[in-house]
Amino acid sequence: MDASAPSSAPPLIDPFQRRISYLRVSVTDRCDFRCVYCMSEDMTFLPKADVLSLEELDRLCSAFVRLGVRKLRLTGGEPLVRRNIMSLFRGLGRHIKSGALDELTVTTNGSQLAKYAGELREAGVRRINVSIDTLDPAKFTAITRWGKLDVVLDGLRAAREAGLTVKINAVALKGVNDDELDRMVAWCGDEGHDLTFIEVMPMGDIGPNRLDQYLPLSLVRSRLSEKWTLEESDYRTGGPARYMTVKETGGRLGFITPLTHNFCESCNRVRLTCTGTLYMCLGQDDAADLRAPLRASDSDTVLDGAIREAIARKPKGHDFIIDRRHTGPAVPRHMSVTGG
Ligand code: SAM
Ligand code: SF4
């Protein structure tokens, strides 16, 4: 069945009466960066044979769209390093054109944006998230281990020329970028980008102790309030960020606070890995294999049943804690598996 056809399927509702309308898909676990909070220096990636083809990813995403998902975000690893990834964006863009999907978007480190910004826009993408934790080129390379800030800034220019709206994501890192957060607010105001700060989450073994990286956003917010007038805002993007408006710049400033303020009660999303494993919560281990039902038959009946069964198991929320007694990962997988 064509997912762009009007659907009479009942919506996906979890046991806590939350409607699942947002799917995030990690299209690859690989990346051209090795950010210190996300990956260890020596990562073992999945064998290519385990990874779903782009056609299979399209079929899976389209099944979710038919079951009522209205927003799709492709992420990773770095989504734009997957070979021929634009064919997936173009394919999924048909659901934007048909009206079955409200938004097709991407979270990227920006390294390939100069190449792809125009094609993303043509495929139907309008807003993108670009992760930049610092505006200092040396620090940028230290955090990402392999990245170059000027390449990402070229990518941002290409995005602007292509007419894409950019939101910057920055992970707040103690002793690393905490002296720069003011500067980032000012820069995003000047460039016209929304900005979201994220608390570091205890996912995967990354080498260093998480407690050394963790900077509570409650502290960031009170420090920023000394310099900026932060006004409450009811702006929402369907994600977990809570937004303020920076009066002096007019820009929006979001805070994603999985540690200091748990937002699970309004969770509307599930996450698919590039092997077809569905995680119903970023911070829990329970998962459902959708690859076997996908491959079991060309009809989507078995697949739809597996998706519904998985949603019926969505847990209430995560249990992230970082303190002196909890310095290790809450879940063993890295953020790059489920895509942030
Ligand atoms: N490679 C792309 C990027 O960096 O934007 C997409 C995938 S990345 C895993 C998605 C987001 O997760 C990025 O904004 C990144 O900074 C964030 N992230 C990665 N590991 C994290 C962690 N342990 N805690 C909080 N955010 C994390
Ligand atoms: Fe790659 Fe994104 Fe993880 Fe950095 S945060 S290592 S860019 S997947």
Give residue 88's Cα distance to chain centre.
Answer: 17
Ligand 2 centre distance from Cα of residue 147 (Å):
10
Where does 191-293 show beta strands of DSSP type E? 194-199, 230-232, 242-246, 252-256, 269-272, 277-279, 287-289
d(Cα 120, Cα 73) in Å, to the nearest integer?
A: 12
The owner of tokens 């105001």 is: 189
6 occurs within a structural domain? no
Looking at all shown ligands, the one closest to residue 35's CA atom is: 2
Q: Which two tokens stand for residue 77?
A: 């690893």
DSSP 3-state assignment of 324?
coil
pTM above 0.85? Answer: yes
The verdict on the CB of residue 283 being under 6 Å from ligand 2 is no
Ligand 1 centre distance from Cα of residue 88 (Å):
21
193 occurs within a structural domain? yes
Q: Report the 10 Å Cβ neighbour count for 15.
A: 11
7 occurs within a structural domain? no
Full domain range(s) for residue 292: 22-338
pLDDT for 1:
44
Looking at all shown ligands, the one closest to residue 133's CA atom is: 1
Task: Give the Å distances, CA to CA, from 27 to 99, 190, 304.
Answer: 23, 32, 20
Point out which residues pair with 255 in neighbouring strands.
197, 242
pLDDT for 331:
67
Which of the 8 DSSP states describes residue 83? T
**Cβ burial, residue 171 (10 Å; 0-12/13-18/19+):** buried
The verdict on the CB of residue 35 being under 6 Å from ligand 2 is yes
Residues of the chain where predicted confidence (pLDDT) is lower than 50: 1-4, 6
pLDDT for 65:
97
d(Cα 66, Cα 47) in Å, to the nearest integer?
A: 30
DSSP 3-state assignment of 243?
strand
pLDDT for 2:
47
Q: Report the 10 Å Cβ neighbour count for 5.
A: 10
DSSP 3-state assignment of 214?
strand
d(Cα 137, Cα 150) in Å, to the nearest integer?
A: 7
4 occurs within a structural domain? no
Ligand 1 centre distance from Cα of residue 78 (Å):
9
d(Cα 202, Cα 156) in Å, to the nearest integer?
A: 29
Ligand 1 atom having least distance to the Cα of 199:
25
12 occurs within a structural domain? no
With the most atoms of ligand 1 within 8 angstroms of its CB, the residue from 31, 35, 320 to mutate is 35
Total structural domains within the chain: 1
204 occurs within a structural domain? yes
Ligand 2 atom having least distance to the Cα of 39:
6
Q: Is 100 left (phi over 0), alpha (psi -120 to 50) or beta?
A: alpha
With the most atoms of ligand 1 within 8 angstroms of its CB, the residue from 24, 31, 131, 259 to mutate is 131
9 occurs within a structural domain? no
CB 250 within 8 A of CB 189: yes
pLDDT for 337:
72
pLDDT for 201:
82
pLDDT for 70:
97
10 occurs within a structural domain? no
d(Cα 132, Cα 113) in Å, to the nearest integer?
A: 13
CATH number reported for the structural domain that contains residue 318 in this entry: 3.20.20.70
**Cβ burial, residue 324 (10 Å; 0-12/13-18/19+):** exposed
Model pLDDT for residues 152-171, shown as the tens digit of each residue: 999 999 999 999 999 999 99
Max Cα distance, the chain (Å): 59
